[in-house]
Amino acid sequence: MEQYIGTKVVKAKPMTRQEYNDFRGWELPEDENGADEGYLVEYVDGGTANTKEYQGYVSWSPADVFKRAYRQTVDFGDAIAALKAGCKVARRGWNGKGLWLELQSPDADSKMTLPYVYLNYPADAQNTPGARVPWLASQTDCLAEDWEVVT
């Protein structure tokens, strides 16, 4: 088999294997332990919804597998991958609360010819409410591991 590296943004909540089977209306197989700790995982970056309670594809993951694959904060490289996937990102360590980054891709009306990252200020910002400005990463930003996807 070939190896792959994936980047996904998911929503998740703790749920035992039994709770997940109950949620789906399934019988727990005899060879599975219903007390296994894990997570209900909703894939928000694609896939057809498979329950009416969630908009994305839903599955269950054992806790140890989930914790190796997903984190709430990431490094700069993963933040860039999230930007390219259409997510908004921010650093937990930024002094200005409510700031976030987005990727701007040029369109037919744009004066820019290449994609760029811009910084968004919240609507209630004191000096620049709702402003959007081009952004450049500092060395500290590039080395930080407190990046997170924001909504």
Residue 13: how many other CB atoms lie within 10 Å: 9
**For residue 3, is it within any domain?**
no
Give pLDDT tens digits for 81-139: 999 989 999 999 888 789 999 999 888 888 888 999 999 999 988 888 889 999 999 99
> How far from the centroid of its chain's Cα atoms is residue 139's Cα?
23
Q: Would you say residue 41 has pLDDT above 80?
A: yes
Q: Would you say residue 144 has pLDDT above 90?
A: yes
Tell me the one-letter amino acid at 129: P
Q: pTM for this one?
A: 0.72
The number of distinct structural domains making up the chain is 2
Tell me which residue range forms the domain holding 65.
Answer: 10-69
pLDDT value at position 1? 95
Check whether residue 82 and residue 144 sit in a common domain: yes
Check whether residue 117 and residue 132 sit in a common domain: yes
